[in-house]
Amino acid sequence: MSSAVNKKSGLGKGLGALLGNEASISSQKGEAGSISLIAIEEIEANPFNPRTHFEREALEELSQSIRIHGIIQPLTVRKVGQDKYQLISGERRFRASQLAGLTEVPCYVRVANDQTMLEMALVENIQREDLNAIEVALSYQRLIEECSLTQDQLSQKVAKSRSSITNFLRLLKLPAEIQAGVRDNLISMGHARSLVSAGDESKQLEIYAQVIAHSLSVRDTEALVKGELQLTGKDKANVDFVKKPKTNTITDNQYVFKEHLSDRLATKVDIKKATNGSGTIVLKFNSENDLNRIIELLNK
């Protein structure tokens, strides 16, 4: 394939090397199951895409990479009319290609109705894109509500445990201000998970304000929610945090281990210590299947 073709289409060295030669591109434009070079002006964005925010700086960096190396991974589209296509996945690459000034992009062409397309777009974005926790939770919710999936079916489609999916969905019960904090990276998902258990909305917002004001860690947030961390001073904009004495307090390393194990097993983990240093590690499971899932993970 000539460099002129590469420069015009954005096929690039990466994909060109993978495909070997021009014969790897379908000669029948828009043929289902093929990779075709399709004009950018013939492609419209996916209305089902759960991601609505794209950072300009990140897009600029990707567009610069595309100018130099071309598109490594083709977009995925479906044909919706004569010389008209709709994105299924790859909107970030699509937008970056527009910024790079490309006229054509390589695309996988698939056949999909709206229901199938929604499911494909949501599942592919959850698995491949760097969505924030709220975007993932909204995607899960849409798959359940609009694709009529149970949590068990969703668990199989996205290769996540049911308890992990439940943890994401619980984030949507938080006040809009806290959800926006997750979306804007003011707090992590760990902070948000702690705030879910803080009580009513006013209490959640009160603790959230303290987390932001004092840059509290997830551990301190969890302690504040449990009442193991007290606020002292009349002015809550300038307070001291005093930890209540507790007989079974775990060390920082033990806490990090607990959180790591919880994330790895996608279930609640608790470490309970006695005054003599002995104790137990408790793993929560919701069903026989959930227990078997945890056992399989521990045996790996």
Q: Which residues are catalytic?
A: 91
User: β-strands 104-110, 75-81: how paired?
Assistant: parallel
Cα 70 to Cα 6: distance, rounded to the nearest angstrom: 7
Query: How is 239-300 classified by DSSP, letter by letter?
Result: -EEEEPP-TTPPPHHHHHHHHHHHHHHTS-EEEEE-TTS-EEEEE--SSHHHHHHHHHHHH-
> Counting beta carbons within 10 angstroms of the beta carbon of residue 170, is it exposed (0 to 12), middle (13 to 18) or buried (19 or more)?
middle
Cα 8 to Cα 29: distance, rounded to the nearest angstrom: 17
- CA torsion sign for 208, 213, 216, 220 is negative
